């Protein structure tokens, strides 16, 4: 059963509820932009770290190979 609320009161209630929803939407929109920016930053950082890891692995493998060559030549 619906409470006895006059039309203007119901309209005001709906306006207030809509204002709250708009405020929440704006907050979520700003938060979403922030999260996307952070995600982009993290993706770039991950790519740099993967690149550094690959470079380090290549250098270590090269050093190991040089040590093996030195060991075989001695």
Q: How large is the greatest C-alpha to C-alpha distance in the chain, in angstroms? A: 100
The rounded distance, in Å, linking the Cα atoms of 45 and 59 is 21
Length of the chain: 74
The pTM of the full predicted model, rounded to 2 decimals, is 0.66
Percent of the chain with pLDDT over 70: 96
Distance CA 8, CA 6 (A): 6
| DSSP letter for each residue of 45-56 | HHHHHHHHHHHH
pLDDT by residue (tens digit) across 27-61? 999 999 999 999 999 999 999 999 999 999 999 99
CA separation for the pair 39, 9 (Å, rounded): 44
């Amino acid at each position: 059963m619906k409470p006895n609320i006059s039309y203007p009161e119901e309209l005001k209630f709906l306006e207030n509820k809509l204002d709250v929803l708009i405020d929440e939407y704006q907050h979520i929109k700003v938060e979403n932009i922030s999260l996307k920016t952070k995600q982009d930053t993290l993706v770039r950082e991950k790519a740099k770290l993967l690149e550094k890891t690959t470079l380090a692995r290549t250098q270590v493998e090269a050093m190991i190979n040089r040590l093996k060559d030195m060991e075989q030549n001695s």
